[in-house]
Structure 1
Amino acid sequence: MYLVVIAWLYVVLMMSVAEATGTNGSFLGAIVTFFLYGLVPLSLVVYLMLTPQRRKGIREREAAEEARRQQAVSDLPDAGGHAAGAAEPGGVPAVGKEP
């Protein structure tokens, strides 16, 4: 893909040089040619072509963050999400049981 980008920029640069050095051309026309035929459309095309890679990177970062979050939760001493209860013999009786 980058070879096509470089080749297109080369073609547009040569068009700009021809515009600037031509008998009816101007330096301002060369600048406009370079931007309107080269940089603006090329930046749009490159942005659109790299969109899948950006999305993949975002998904990978989110997955890594979720894995780190899960690892941090599982490293806690009581990761069950319930309050720790006392042992029944000699301690507090379980819910619903008579002492």
Structure 2
Amino acid sequence: MLIVAIAWIYVVVLMALTEPTVVAGCMTLLLYCVLPLGIVFYITGGGRRKRRRALEAAARAREDAPPP
């Protein structure tokens, strides 16, 4: 997944460099690269966030448990 994102960033940077103005290049970079990749990484990171929350809850439960 990361290699695809890196390739997409490369393509979009090249697209942004060919825009006629700096503003158009920045908007191309923002709207074709930053925003979509941010959404994709947020959606695909849901499982990792859920597992991390479960591990933190288990660690808190072990800390709160009385000693045997």
TM-score, normalization by structure 2: 0.91
More helix by share: 2
- Deviating beyond 3 angstroms after TM superposition, the runs of 4 or more aligned structure 1 residues are none
* Counterpart residue number, 1:16: 16
Higher RCO (CA-CA < 8 Å; seq separation 6+): 2
Deviation string 1:37-88 (CA, Å, 9 cap, x unpaired) is: 0101111111110111011001011011101211xx235xxxxxxxxxxxxx
Aligned residues: 68
Q: In structure 2, what is the Cα distance between the partners aligned to 1:69 and 1:27?
A: 56
Structure ID, larger Rg: 1
Stretches of structure 1 lacking an aligned partner (at least 5 in a row): 20-24, 76-99
> What is the 5 A alignment of 1:1-99?
1-19=1-19, 25-70=20-65, 73-74=66-67
